Amino acid sequence: MLSFLSLLLPAAGLADPLPSWNDGAAKSSIETFVARVTDPASADFVRPEERIAVFDNDGTLWVEQPMYTQLAFALDRVRELAPSHPEWQANPTLKAAIDGDLKTLAAAGDKGLLELVMVTHAGMTPDEFQQIVTDWLARAEHPRFRKPYTELVYQPMLELMAYLRENGFTTYIVSGGGIEFMRPWSEKVYGVLPAQVVGSSIVTKFEMVDGKPVLVRQPALNFIDDGAGKPVGINQHIGQRPIAAFGNSDGDLQMLEWTTAGEGARLGLIVHHTDGEREYAYDRQSSFGRLDKALDAAPANGWTVVDMKNDWKTIFPPAG
């Protein structure tokens, strides 16, 4: 006759909240932190309303190689609009984008990329822009994996976000990507409400059009939510310091520093892309998602560094 305990053991084995994580230091650091801040008897107990966790998006929650997804969107968009704008051929950056000359486009740096975003993301209402994004994501495919970008999210990170929410955390996305580029799909893909997305933005103005009030996106930068801008964006949108931060690049360095400098138990975690077979392997020399200074800063700050190849059993959600 089976004992009551033996009946419980299989269920307990299936109850692992992070089944796509291999047992090891990375998984243990997450579980230990959550136990410390959610146990009312713990000296590190944190009230649920103060359990704020912030996640970078590109390279932390979904694939960012061979280029940021929003850049792929902007390139498709500029080629779509180009026939109506012959004057763009006189602009080296826009001509490179139209011709698919990524080398010249990369050489233009952040200024060139911002110029590309300005001409492809403005001149419409937020609702119109978000519908364009939604339609593009429905048909666009990643060049290597031949799948929609929204299917190339990291299964272990989806589990981590769900695990935190089950333990009273509120999860936010804090990304250098456009805030209105992410909001149309963040809830469906990540379970993160549009109001819990913090990102870069362009100027938006209130106007009366045909007697109706509308908001119109302008070709001017409003805020860059990257690097030192991330703590500022968190302060402006969330209004309190997180107790956990998750990133993968030097663009997340200041967010990790600011989060873990607070009092009490804190968790900083970096996703290190080490798996060239299942995804990509890159860090210090990458044009997108460079991980250099933050990787060096991790040991001194006590941040967890996830080795994607060894710490994750799987990368992407199962098909179907």
**Dihedrals phi, psi of 91, to nearest 5 degrees:** -100, 115
DSSP 100-122: T-HHHHHHTHHHHHHHHHHHHH-
Q: pLDDT, tens digit, for every residue of 205-262?
A: 999 999 999 999 999 999 999 999 999 999 999 999 999 999 999 999 999 999 999 9
pLDDT the model gives residue 7: 36
pLDDT the model gives residue 319: 82
Residue 97 CA to residue 71 CA, distance in Å, equals 10
pLDDT under 50 in the chain at which residues? 1-13
**Dihedrals phi, psi of 301, to nearest 5 degrees:** -95, -5
Give bridge partners of residue 203 from the DSSP assignment: none
Q: Output the pTM of the full model.
A: 0.93
Q: Please tell us whether the domain made up of 19-66+153-311 is placed in CATH 3.40.50.1000.
A: yes
Q: pLDDT, tens digit, for every residue of 96-117?
A: 999 988 888 877 777 778 789 8
pLDDT the model gives residue 11: 41
Closest listed residue to residue 292, CA positions, set 231, 244, 248: 248
Domain boundaries, the chain: 19-66+153-311
pLDDT the model gives residue 8: 39
pLDDT the model gives residue 320: 66
ω before 92 within 30° of 0 (cis)? no
DSSP 187-200: HHHHS--GGGEEEE
Residue 92 CA to residue 242 CA, distance in Å, equals 42
